[in-house]
Amino acid sequence: TPFAILHGHNVLVSNWLDFPGGFNLAQNVSMPLLGLLAAPLTLALGPVASFNFLLWLALTASASACYLTLLHWTRWKPAAFVGGLVYAFSSYMAGQALGHLNLIFVPIPPLLILVLNELVIEQRKSARRWGIALGLLAAAQFLISPEILIDSALLAVTGLVLVAVTHRTEVVRRARHALGGMAWALAVSLPFAVYPIAVFVAGPERYTGSPWDGATYAEDLLGTIIPSLNQRITTTGLASFGDRLLPDLAENGAYLGIPMVIILVVLAVRYRHVGIMWFSAAMATVAWLLSLGPHLSVDTNQTAIRLPFDVLVHLPILDSLLAGRFTLFLDLFCGFVLAVGIDRLRSDMLRSGRVPKLRAAVAVMVVAVVALVPVIPRWPYPVVPVDSTTPSFFETGDVKEIPAGSVVLTYPYPVYPFNQAMLWQAESSMRFRILGGYVLIPGPGGKATNAPAPVQPSSVPATLIADFNGLAVVGPAATPEDVRSLLHRYGVQTVIVGPGGVDPDAAIALFTEALGPSKIVGGARIWPDLHCTGPTGGC
């Protein structure tokens, strides 16, 4: 984001990956607000420092926002603190924190509850003021993750319907204030969303339909009570069982644990007369049902039982949502139930006059600890040193060997999951464009694919990918003439071979035969200043 702004580029459309066609960032993960937030750090220390900082900030900011929100419904601050822990250090967050920054930077959803409560329920202050606050929060969430905003909106609508049905006599009296605030919210947020939405639905390099099957990352019924490797406290057998329920650990976020479930149910039943308690318990149930996907799965076996998410998979835009990510809201509302419940439980003990203040505090904190301990994340998170995959060439002045904005062909050829060249590009302050990359683009029939856009001759990327993996080439192997033809066709001015893979020597031999001797600079082997004149001409 800072690079695009400083260089006058379109923030949502680029061909710096998958050159020459490029990609549509409105249909991919871009996080422009986080890009702006971290811009000073990015410009000073680079994108990896910013990414690491934002991962840390995401967890602490999300916990803090939930804590501050819960202070509205709790008198005892430790109870609100416990609710913040449930939300920000849940199984969902433990998994998504393996790399999905856009999905764990979630301080806004709890604040949306607070604002909507004021607009719809309490209505003590200006509808305009709180409507503007709602609009700014919605715009901010849209610029971090449209998916989380859409999930939030779906649950907000569900919650509003639930409140309206249970308080029918209040609807007419409160509607004008609420609708007035929401009109202000729409007026404030819409300007931020109009252009990205236009690029999403009609921009260049857009794919059609959903990139995912809605059931791809749906949670299993048993996932709520079976831990995975995302939890610190588990056994090898249980973790293996839990991992099998949803093998992608980043998306395996359903676990609450039997102690947590029992405590939540007991507290919800005991304090069902408290408005925020019954509402939170109902919304937690809704979020849990949505997280299970279109059909109920038990021990990885999909049943014929249809669930509410089955409606969403047949609607445009909403068919791109991933069911399992609704566990974020399951954890949010479970945090509300636990916080409000232990706060009320402590108050009951003190009101009885038979339990001293300290003993009451200890008793309810024991309840909280019993609920929280099973979901402790498996820390520390995996760390990969940048130096292990990025030659110093890309982090020093040596990178100026590459003309600014020019096209580079790399080994490893960037194709998921081997995206080293994308990191090199980012570490070099986006100095160059690359062929290939990991990004969603239109594939055959316009459907989404994360395979790199085809380039010709296709034998060149096929050979580089085969060399990296130590496999036989699918189709004809690349010849020196093929290499020169590809460089000429796409105006490639630099070829770089970095470390890694099974057979980098084969790639070096191919490029040397095609282009002549190379230079070794900063741990990278480069062929700079190339000007290929044709398939059989020189470079």
What tens-digit pLDDT sequence spans the chain (539 residues)? 999 999 999 999 999 999 999 999 999 998 999 999 999 999 999 999 999 999 999 999 999 999 999 999 999 999 999 999 999 999 999 999 998 999 999 999 999 999 999 999 999 989 999 999 999 999 999 999 999 999 999 999 999 999 999 999 999 999 999 999 999 999 999 999 999 999 999 999 999 988 876 557 899 999 999 999 999 999 999 999 999 999 999 999 999 999 999 999 999 999 999 999 999 999 999 999 999 999 999 999 999 999 999 999 889 889 899 999 999 999 999 999 999 999 999 999 999 988 999 999 999 999 999 999 999 999 888 888 888 889 999 999 999 999 999 999 999 999 999 999 999 999 999 999 999 999 999 999 999 999 999 999 999 999 999 999 999 998 999 999 999 999 999 999 999 999 989 999 999 999 999 999 999 999 999 999 998 865 555 67
The residue written with tokens 């057979």 in the block is 503
Determine the pLDDT at residue 536: 55
Indicate the burial class of 157 (C-beta count within 10 angstroms; 0-12, 13-18, 19 or more): exposed
The residue written with tokens 């400083």 in the block is 6
Determine the pLDDT at residue 537: 56
295 bridge partner residues? 306
Residue 254: closest CA among 89, 444, 92, 76: 92
Determine the pLDDT at residue 182: 97
Q: What are the CA-CA distances from residue 382 to residues 90, 252, 334 (Å)? A: 18, 17, 28
Residue 331: closest CA among 261, 262, 377, 284: 284
C-alpha 453/C-alpha 24 separation (Å) is 13
- Cis peptide before 380, with omega less than 30 degrees from 0? yes
C-alpha 34/C-alpha 217 separation (Å) is 25
Counting other chains too, the contacts that 41-47 makes at CB distance below 8 Å and 24 or more residues apart are 42/2, 43/2, 46/395, 46/426, 46/427, 46/429, 47/426, 47/427
State the SS3 of 90-116: CHHHHHHCCCCHHHHCCCHHHHHHHHH
Strand runs labelled E in 197-309: 295-298, 301-306
Residue 520: closest CA among 502, 497, 538, 501: 497
C-alpha 72/C-alpha 111 separation (Å) is 11
State the SS3 of 28-70: CCCCHHHHHHCHHHHHHHCHHHHHHHHHHHHHHHHHHHHHHHH
302 bridge partner residues? 297
Determine the pLDDT at residue 410: 97
Determine the pLDDT at residue 215: 58
C-alpha 20/C-alpha 155 separation (Å) is 40
Residues near 339 by beta carbon (within 8 Å), at least 6 away in sequence: 70, 73, 74, 79, 80, 82, 83, 86
Determine the pLDDT at residue 101: 96
Indicate the burial class of 183 (C-beta count within 10 angstroms; 0-12, 13-18, 19 or more): middle
Helix (H, G, I), strand (E, B) or coil at 302: strand
Indicate the burial class of 348 (C-beta count within 10 angstroms; 0-12, 13-18, 19 or more): middle
CA angle at residue 289 from 287 to 291, to 5 degrees?
A: 70
Counting other chains too, the contacts that 347-356 makes at CB distance below 8 Å and 24 or more residues apart are 347/75, 347/76
